[in-house]
Structure 1
Amino acid sequence: MSVLRVKNLSKAFGGLQVTNDVSLTLNAGERLALIGPNGAGKTTLVNQIAGFLHADSGSIHLHNEDITAWPGYKRVRHGLVRTFQISKLAPTLPAIEQVALAIHQREDSISSMWRDRRSYTAVLDEAAQILEGLHLSRIATAAPSAMAYGDQRLLEIALALALRPKVLLLDEPMAGVPRSEAQLILDALSRLPADLAVVIIEHDMDLVFRFAHRILVLANGAVLAEGTPDDIRRNEVVRAVYLGKAELA
């Protein structure tokens, strides 16, 4: 059963059609990758799904409920959460405190976080478990300004998981991550909850073909191709306009 359905979504800025009649479905536990050349409309599509941009036409359903007109915060409260291509962490706040803040946001208990630490032990325990699940316990008391960039990207995923998403939208989790730290991201993604539906935008084809169950290829705002990783590898049109034969070897 689908947890997310996008139907005929379109968005234009002036005379530029950025997304053009895009449809997709996502089932619980499925990993869907969005790929395509720069300017293909990937981030614009995710921004529409997440509620940061309103679609000109089309519809978005989450758990069979029409959320097309919902603001982003309401979508988050119903389990649709995204990360961003550019880091948005608080640079000096320790990791565990940032995750705790996200939990308080989820529970609508922000005011309680300013009390004595003992008054929200359960929140800190949950924050510690989330960090442990991503193998981030080692940086729990560190601030992002003192972390390797790969750990910063993982902390952003931890913040998203603290909101208990049913659908997670990941916008280029490998962006800016040195190759020496790339395995940290790959390992963390492999440990995401099995029932979590994930949409990932990514240019790193190694990650895409290892992670995705299904791939949607965008070009000029429209769907160029869709299928399993093997289907996309064999698609001559995709190879010609985007991936290149060497990259798919």
Structure 2
Amino acid sequence: MRYALFISALLHLGIMAAGFIAAPFMTVPAVVDSQRIPIELLTEAEFADRTSVMADRVSEEIADTNPSDDIEVSSLPDPIPTPQFEEPTIEETPEPVEQPKPEEPKPEPKDPPKKEEDKPKSEEDDFFSGLDDALVDLEEEDERKAPSEVVDPEGLSDQEAIGLGDTLTAAEEDLVREQMARRCFDQPQGVPNAEKLIVRVRFSLDREGYLIGQPEVLNATSIALSGNSWWRTTRDRAVQAVITCQPYDYLPAERYYVWSEMTLNFSPRGVM
């Protein structure tokens, strides 16, 4: 509070000092008397006379200041002539002259095709032709060696089991091939003429689906004599696939007399 009162007192003293110092320099404006304007009262008749006289004077002045006589009218310049263009002449194009069509050349008689000369057979063609003959001979040999009657462990002969279905059904064959190709058979890749490198494997199974003995390669002699390394590789992998895929317990037990012995064909293309 003391500081506020002190500051307020200083401000008031400053204002009072400024007033005393500035008072001599302030001038009071002089009072000027306003000019008196005389007013004359006129009647209507006097006002009409004065206004009519003023109107006549104004009309005469306007008539004297008519500038129509002093103004000289300048003549307009001559119009510019419009240029005239010559119309272009259109030349008539001559009609095209039809040229005579060239005569089509007559086709020359073709010589009769020459008969292709017999090409010498390569060693590879001789090998595969001999391979086909070996497969045919092997199939005929298997048919001759096949027993006329097979008896399963239950004592049912193949003649007695005909009524029950003596071969694998299409679904059963597809199931065996699918399991063999998907889980067991490692197909060789990039084999030339793969469709001709067939390996036939026969094997027997017990009721639990396990192998009885070792798988038998029916065309083992032809494979060994061929000297073809791809064929031998396919043979080895086919035998290994038959062994790896056991047990074949997914086959129906009541049809054991059918799948107790099976023959599968292998090639680099898959299981057939």
Q: What TM-score, normalized by structure 2, do the two folds share? A: 0.22
Higher strand share: 1
Q: What TM-score, normalized by structure 1, do the two folds share? A: 0.23
Structure number with bigger Rg: 2
Highest relative contact order (Cα 8 Å, sep 6+), 1 or 2? 1
